[in-house]
């Protein structure tokens, strides 16, 4: 099986031994507390689940800046995005002292980790600008990732952590949320060697389904892991529970048994385009995938990135930065000429009107009106789930008015 990134074995920071976890939880009740923001809490979940192997905790400012500018830590480890714990409130926090980290996403802010504080550093305006521009490619706060990152706080609190709770992901998405350890173990149990990962924050339409099938066939892969983001999204994105139901229905009906694993991970979407695509590759390697599908505008938003920037960035990596490979894909769509989904760049003798394409806005309007989209766009079983969701949203909106 493919090795984890930068290590021989996963380093999941979650304390799995129940007695040790209870002892740390008891200790944490008497420690100074720090309330995390949602992004830092998501980082803690990813550290706890082993996805961020070989990191042991939150980066200090030097590592964060090095990662932002050079895509490597000060020790030389390839890493594409700073994994930081930023705050405006450092009262009661001291270097070389253990603190309790509290969860912002659960009522009552329960303890989710303990942290040995290694440094508390103020972030200058220039440093914040540099990190933002290098990671997101822009300082424009109309970019949802930029807007979140620039308002997390002006202090960087770094240190190793021991995770005591995987937040709401383990309870609200018990069937879907899996740690990198659990996914790697299941891949081994299935005997899969060549494993394709598909990243999604949306329900999968027919074109996505066929793209996965193309990757499986062309790579002669043993299996597919559909790995969905379960954390915070931007306004207007479809909730994780609806997305989960859509994907499960699609797989149940249209994929052979034992060829697909459906899992999710607890992270907040960055919308960072190329840099986030690289981060996706890092933690898919950690969970045991040998290939990651990177399609058009992967992890992008609006017009901030070119359609294939997230593929091109992999060509710029130094040799040995990652072991996982990408399956680079163009936009897929239904060909009216061939009566099947094709990669548009591979469809010869096709004009734009030869493809069935529906804008996201038009699709949402149809679903909200209870109009089933064409079957060459959305599977009917999936469309039914989405129509129920959008019609419920429309009714709630009408009541609110």
Whether the CB-CB separation of 367 and 374 falls below 8 Å is answered with: no
Spatial neighbors of 114 by CB under 8 A, at least 6 apart, are 24, 27, 28, 31, 98, 99, 100, 101, 161, 162, 164
Catalytic position from the list 98, 109, 154, 202: 202
Length of the chain: 401
Spatial separation of the C-alpha atoms in residues 35 and 327, rounded to whole Å = 39
For the question of residue 201 being annotated catalytic, the response is: yes
Spatial separation of the C-alpha atoms in residues 56 and 77, rounded to whole Å = 13
Nearest to 103 by CA among 90, 94, 114, 119: 114
Whether the CB-CB separation of 50 and 180 falls below 8 Å is answered with: yes
Catalytic position from the list 98, 154, 190, 201: 201
Spatial separation of the C-alpha atoms in residues 333 and 314, rounded to whole Å = 25
Residue 238, class by beta-carbon neighbours within 10 Å (0-12 exposed, 13-18 middle, 19+ buried)? middle
For the question of residue 258 being annotated catalytic, the response is: no
Show which residues are catalytic: 201-202
């Amino acid at each position: 099986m493919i090795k984890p990134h930068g290590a021989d074995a996963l380093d999941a920071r979650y304390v799995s031994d129940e007695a040790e976890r209870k002892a740390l939880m008891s200790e944490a009740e008497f420690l100074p507390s720090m309330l995390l923001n949602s992004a830092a809490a998501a980082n803690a979940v990813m550290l706890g689940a082993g996805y961020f192997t070989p990191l042991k905790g939150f980066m200090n400012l030097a590592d964060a800046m090095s990662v932002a500018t050079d895509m490597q830590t000060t020790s030389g480890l390839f890493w594409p995005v700073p994994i930081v714990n930023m705050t405006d409130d450092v009262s009661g926090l001291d270097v070389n002292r253990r603190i309790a980290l509290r969860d912002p996403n659960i009522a009552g802010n329960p303890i989710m980790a303990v942290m040995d504080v290694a440094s508390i550093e103020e972030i200058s305006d220039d440093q914040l600008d540099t990190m933002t521009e290098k990671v997101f490619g822009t300082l424009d706060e109309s970019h949802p990732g930029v807007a979140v990152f620039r308002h997390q706080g002006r202090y960087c609190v770094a240190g190793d952590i021991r995770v005591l709770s995987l937040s709401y992901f383990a309870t609200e998405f018990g069937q879907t949320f899996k740690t990198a350890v659990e996914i790697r173990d299941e891949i081994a149990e299935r005997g899969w060697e060549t494993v394709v990962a598909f990243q999604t924050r949306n329900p999968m339409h027919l074109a996505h389904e066929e793209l996965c099938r193309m990757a499986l066939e062309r790579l002669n892969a043993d299996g597919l892991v559909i790995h969905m983001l379960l954390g915070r999204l931007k306004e207007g994105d479809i909730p994780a529970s609806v997305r989960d139901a859509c994907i499960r229905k699609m797989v149940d009906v249209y994929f052979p048994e034992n060829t697909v694993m459906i899992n999710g991970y607890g992270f907040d979407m960055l919308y960072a385009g190329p840099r986030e695509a690289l981060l996706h590759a890092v933690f898919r390697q950690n969970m045991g995938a040998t290939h990651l599908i990177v399609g058009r505008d992967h992890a992008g938003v609006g017009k901030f990135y070119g359609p294939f920037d997230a593929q091109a960035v992999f060509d710029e990596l130094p040799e040995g930065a990652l072991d996982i490979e990408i399956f680079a894909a163009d936009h897929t769509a239904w060909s009216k000429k061939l009566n099947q989904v094709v990669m548009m760049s591979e469809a010869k003798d096709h004009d734009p009107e030869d493809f069935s394409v529906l804008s996201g806005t038009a699709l949402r309007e149809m679903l909200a009106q209870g109009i089933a989209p064409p079957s060459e766009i959305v599977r009917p079983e999936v469309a039914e789930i989405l129509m129920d969701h959008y019609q419920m949203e429309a009714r709630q909106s009408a009541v609110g008015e």
